[in-house]
Structure 1
Amino acid sequence: MAKPVRAAIGDQWITCMYCKGDLFRDRKVKLNSTGAEFMNLAWANESATGLICWHCGYVHLFANPEIDLYKVKKGEF
């Protein structure tokens, strides 16, 4: 099972837009475009960081490469 992270961009901590939770699972997400898919160039599409709320499951996508992820210790979740 994935371990939870907290996330920030600069000094702004990210919270879930739905439940206001601050723990997430993270993963890289491809932002596929129809043209690239059609030309078999999907590998060239831009990536985003997906944050999945640990509590409610709401998915947040961030294309900003400045997002920082912080591991959460076992006793904190």
Structure 2
Amino acid sequence: MKKTIGGIGAGLKAVAKSLVTPATRFQVGDNPLLCPICRHDEFDRREMLMNTSGMSFMNMDWLNSSACALVCQKCKHIELFAETPSERSV
């Protein structure tokens, strides 16, 4: 039983890592995106579900909308976007 639970845990960690992209620079329109806290310009991108109490109550969280979460590489501040900002070249 312990091996099964350990295997499931390892699988979940692998899935979580696969959902995170390497550090990238982004822009919104023509403006480079900077962290509002530390002014760093590299972020990890993740997809996050925007859970609602109604869908959670009915055990249907998977039907909720998702958002793009950019996590600052330096201070770990999280910014949410309805649509993924454009990547910019260095």
Query: TM-score of the superposition, structure 1-length normalised?
Result: 0.78
The number of residues matched between the two structures is 71
TM-score by length of 2: 0.68
The CA deviation at 1:69 is 2.8
User: What whole-Å deviation, never above 9, does each CA across 1:6-60 have from its counterpart, x for those lacking one?
Assistant: 1112212211010011001111011101111111221111111111101111111
Provide runs of 4+ in structure 1 moved above 3 Å: none
Task: Answer whether contact 2:68 2:84 (CA < 8 A) is retained.
Answer: no
Is 2:76 the partner of 1:57? yes
Between Structure 1 and Structure 2, whose CA radius of gyration is higher?
2
Query: Which structure has more helix as a fraction of its residues?
Result: 2
Higher-RCO chain (CA-CA 8 Å, sequence separation at least 6): 1
Give the letter aligned to residue 21 of structure 1: H
% of aligned pairs identical? 34
Listed as ranges, the gaps of 5+ residues in structure 1 are 73-77
Counterpart in 2 of 1:22?
41
Structure 2 segments unaligned to the other structure (5+ residues): 1-16
Q: Any idea what SS the aligned residue of 1:5 has?
A: coil
1:69 aligns with 2:79: no
